[in-house]
C-alpha cells in the first residue's frame, strides 16, 4: 500500500440513527481499506444527534460533539457534511445550507429534502464548486445513481422503473404469501419497525415517489419535479385483488415508472400488475429493484436491499469515497443550470387496466357498467364474476389498452349509476 500523501478527508456526521451509526462503524472498521481505495485517510472529526448520552453500540469518544447540526456543518475541521437526520425542511435543510455556505461538500440520504429543494440546493452547491451526493437516498444499497451517471452515461435513457419502497413490497408479498389482510400485515410491519415515523410516507407511495423524482431528473436531465409524480398508495389493495391478479398471471407491486414521451415527462408511482414471471414480479420482501432502459444498453436490472444499517451506510460510503478521490459530479449528473424544465405529461401512455368492481346484484347492473366503459371508449378484454353474495357481485374486468383518465371518467360514471356497492379498484397492467 502506498502511504497517503494528501490530507485526510474529514467528515462531520449529523444524525446517529441506524444509518449514521452504520457509517461510523464502516469508517472505524475499514480505515485502512478506505485509505487504500481513495489514496487518503477518511476520518470523522465531529458528530451531532439529538441525544448525546444514548448508547449506540459504537464509541464516539474520539469525535467532537455538537448539539446543533448547523454548528457541525460550519466547523473548520469538517470537509464533508454528512446529513443523515432526514426531514424535508427544518434542521436538515438549515444544516446543508450552512455547509454549502461554508464551501463544504455534502453527502445525504435525504430523499424528501432533495425532492422538494434539490434544484435550489444543487444551484447553490455548483455555483460555489461544491458537490452534493445522495446515492443512499434512492433504493438503499443499490448503486443506482452511480449506474445512471457513470456506467450508463453513453445512453439516452428511455425508461426507469422500480420497486423502491421495501416496506410496501414487504406488505404486498406478505399478504400474498400468508393470505393475510392489509391491516394485519401493516400492524406486523409496524411491530417490526419497518414503517417510517409517518407511515403514509411508505404506504401512500410518497417516499417512493420522492425517489422516482430524483431518478427522473438524472435519467432525463430535467429539474426535479416531485409534484409531477402521479401518486397512489397501496392502502386499498385487498387479498382478493392479489389472488385475482395471481390467477391472471400477475403480481401487484407499488411500481415507479418514469419515461419521457412526446406528451411530456411521465412519472407514476402507483400499484400496478406486473407479469408474475418478470424480475419485478418475482421480487420478494423488503428488497428493491430498479430497471433502467437505455438506447444502447437495452435493459439493466439492479436488485438489492432498499434500507437498513449496512446497505444504506454502504451507499453513503460510496459517495464519501468518490469525494475523497477528487471525483466531482454535478448533483443530478449535468450542471444544475442546464437541467430542463420538464412539463408533466397530461395523459399517461395507454395500458390495459384491471378493474375490481363490487356491484349490487340486480338485473341490469352489469349492463350499466358496460355502458359506462363503452361511453368512455374502453373496450373489455376479459371479464369474470365470482363468488357473489346474496346482495353483491364482485366483477373483475381486464380492459384493452386505454388511458388512466378514461378509466377515471368511467369510474365516475359508474358511481352515479346506483349499482356500485363500493368504489372500484383500478390498477394499471404494466409492460415490463
Pairing of strands 420-429, 353-360: antiparallel
C-alpha to C-alpha distance for 408 and 153, rounded to whole angstroms: 38
The residues that bridge with 289 in the sheet, in sequence order, are 163, 303
Contact 149, 329 (CB under 8 A): yes
Contact 144, 290 (CB under 8 A): yes
Helices (H), ranges, 195-254: 199-203, 206-220, 239-247
196 contributes a contact to ligand HSE by CB under 6 A: yes
C-alpha to C-alpha distance for 97 and 109, rounded to whole angstroms: 15
Q: Is 122 exposed, middle or buried (0-12, 13-18, 19+ CB in 10 A)?
A: buried
Q: Which residue is nearest to ligand HSE (CB)?
A: 167
Chosen residue from 118, 256, 294, 306 binding ligand HSE by CB under 6 A: 306
Q: Which stretch binds ligand HSE (CB under 6 A): 53-61, 160-168, 359-367, 382-390?
A: 160-168
Q: CB 288 → ligand HSE: shortest distance, Å?
A: 7
DSSP state of 139: S
What b/e sequence results for 372-391 when a residue is b if at least 16 CB atoms lie within 10 Å of its CB, and e otherwise?
bbeebebeeeeeeeeeeeee
C-alpha to C-alpha distance for 332 and 145, rounded to whole angstroms: 9
Q: Which stretch binds ligand HSE (CB under 6 A): 61-69, 95-103, 163-171, 231-239?
A: 163-171
Residue 186 or 353 having the CB closest to ligand HSE: 186
So which residues are the catalytic ones?
Answer: 211
Q: CB 145 → ligand HSE: shortest distance, Å?
A: 14
Q: CB 111 → ligand HSE: shortest distance, Å?
A: 6
Residue 83 or 207 having the CB closest to ligand HSE: 207
45 contributes a contact to ligand HSE by CB under 6 A: no
Say how many residues touch ligand HSE, by CB under 6 A.
Answer: 8
83 contributes a contact to ligand HSE by CB under 6 A: no
Among 27, 26, 22, smallest CA distance to 11 is for 27
Chosen residue from 16, 280, 307, 351 binding ligand HSE by CB under 6 A: 307
Within residues 360-379, the interface with ligand HSE by CB under 6 A covers: none
Contact 253, 169 (CB under 8 A): yes
Chosen residue from 167, 216, 349, 358 binding ligand HSE by CB under 6 A: 167
| Cell numbers describing residue 352 | 390495459
Residue 168 or 342 having the CB closest to ligand HSE: 168
Residue 254 or 272 having the CB closest to ligand HSE: 254
126 contributes a contact to ligand HSE by CB under 6 A: no
Site string for ligand HSE, 207-236 (x = CB under 6 A): x-----------------------------
DSSP state of 429: E
Residue 96 or 396 having the CB closest to ligand HSE: 96
Q: CB 86 → ligand HSE: shortest distance, Å?
A: 9
Among 308, 270, 310, 424, smallest CA distance to 358 is for 424
285 backbone dihedrals φ, ψ, rounded to 5°: 60, -145
166 contributes a contact to ligand HSE by CB under 6 A: yes
Name the strand (E) or helix (H) holding 21: helix 18-29
Among 242, 104, 227, 80, smallest CA distance to 169 is for 242
Q: CB 269 → ligand HSE: shortest distance, Å?
A: 12
C-alpha to C-alpha distance for 266 and 347, rounded to whole angstroms: 8
Q: CB 84 → ligand HSE: shortest distance, Å?
A: 12
Q: Which stretch binds ligand HSE (CB under 6 A): 60-68, 75-83, 161-169, 241-249?
A: 161-169
Residue 212 or 307 having the CB closest to ligand HSE: 307
Sheet strands side by side (includes 105-108) = 64-66, 42-48, 9-14, 80-83, 105-108, 132-133
C-alpha to C-alpha distance for 152 and 299, rounded to whole angstroms: 11
270 contributes a contact to ligand HSE by CB under 6 A: no
Residue 114 or 372 having the CB closest to ligand HSE: 114
Q: Which stretch binds ligand HSE (CB under 6 A): 34-42, 164-172, 317-325, 399-407?
A: 164-172
C-alpha to C-alpha distance for 246 and 284, rounded to whole angstroms: 15
Q: CB 165 → ligand HSE: shortest distance, Å?
A: 4
Residue 144 or 357 having the CB closest to ligand HSE: 144
202 contributes a contact to ligand HSE by CB under 6 A: yes
Which residues bind to ligand HSE, rule: CB under 6 A? 165-167, 196, 202, 207, 306-307
Amino acid at each position: 500500500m502506498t502511504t497517503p500523501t494528501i490530507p485526510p478527508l474529514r467528515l462531520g456526521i449529523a444524525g446517529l440513527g441506524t444509518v449514521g451509526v452504520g457509517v461510523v462503524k464502516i469508517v472505524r472498521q475499514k480505515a485502512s481499506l478506505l485509505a487504500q481505495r481513495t489514496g487518503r485517510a477518511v476520518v470523522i472529526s465531529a458528530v451531532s444527534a439529538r441525544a448525546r448520552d444514548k448508547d449506540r453500540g459504537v464509541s464516539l469518544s474520539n469525535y467532537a460533539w455538537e448539539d446543533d447540526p448547523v454548528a457541525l456543518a460550519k466547523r473548520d475541521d469538517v470537509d464533508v457534511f454528512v446529513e443523515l437526520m432526514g426531514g424535508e425542511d427544518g434542521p436538515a435543510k438549515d444544516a446543508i445550507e450552512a455547509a454549502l455556505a461554508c464551501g463544504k461538500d455534502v453527502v445525504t440520504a435525504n430523499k424528501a429534502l432533495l425532492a422538494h429543494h434539490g434544484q435550489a440546493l444543487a444551484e447553490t452547491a455548483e455555483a460555489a464548486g461544491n458537490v452534493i451526493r445522495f446515492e443512499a437516498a434512492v433504493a438503499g444499497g443499490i448503486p443506482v445513481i452511480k449506474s445512471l451517471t457513470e456506467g450508463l452515461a453513453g445512453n439516452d435513457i428511455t425508461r426507469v422503473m422500480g420497486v423502491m419502497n421495501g416496506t410496501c413490497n414487504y406488505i404486498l408479498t406478505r399478504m400474498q404469501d400468508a393470505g393475510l389482510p392489509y391491516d394485519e400485515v401493516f400492524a406486523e410491519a409496524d411491530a417490526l419497525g419497518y414503517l417510517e415515523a409517518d407511515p403514509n410516507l411508505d404506504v401512500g407511495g410518497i417516499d417512493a415517489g420522492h425517489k422516482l423524482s430524483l431518478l427522473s431528473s438524472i435519467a432525463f436531465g430535467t429539474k426535479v419535479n416531485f409534484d409531477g409524480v402521479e401518486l397512489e398508495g397501496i392502502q386499498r389493495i385487498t387479498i382478493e385483488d392479489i389472488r385475482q391478479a395471481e390467477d391472471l398471471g400477475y403480481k401487484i407491486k407499488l411500481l415507479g415508472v418514469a419515461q419521457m414521451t412526446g406528451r411530456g415527462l411521465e412519472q407514476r408511482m402507483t400499484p400496478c400488475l406486473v407479469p408474475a414471471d418478470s424480475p419485478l414480479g418475482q421480487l420478494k420482501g423488503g428488497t428493491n429493484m430498479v430497471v433502467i432502459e437505455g438506447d444502447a444498453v437495452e435493459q439493466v436490472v439492479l436488485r438489492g436491499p432498499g434500507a437498513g444499517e449496512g446497505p444504506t451506510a454502504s451507499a453513503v460510503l460510496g459517495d464519501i469515497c468518490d469525494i475523497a478521490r477528487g471525483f466531482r459530479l454535478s448533483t443530478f449528473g449535468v450542471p444544475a443550470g442546464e437541467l430542463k424544465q420538464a412539463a408533466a405529461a397530461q395523459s399517461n401512455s395507454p395500458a390495459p387496466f384491471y378493474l375490481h368492481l363490487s356491484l349490487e346484484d340486480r338485473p341490469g347492473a352489469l349492463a350499466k357498467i358496460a355502458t359506462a366503459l363503452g361511453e368512455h371508449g374502453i373496450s373489455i378484454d376479459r371479464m369474470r364474476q365470482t363468488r357473489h353474495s346474496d346482495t353483491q357481485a364482485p366483477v373483475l374486468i381486464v380492459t384493452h389498452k386505454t388511458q388512466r383518465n378514461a378509466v377515471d371518467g368511467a369510474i365516475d360514471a359508474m358511481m352515479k349509476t346506483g349499482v356500485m356497492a363500493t368504489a372500484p379498484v383500478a390498477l394499471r397492467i404494466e409492460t415490463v
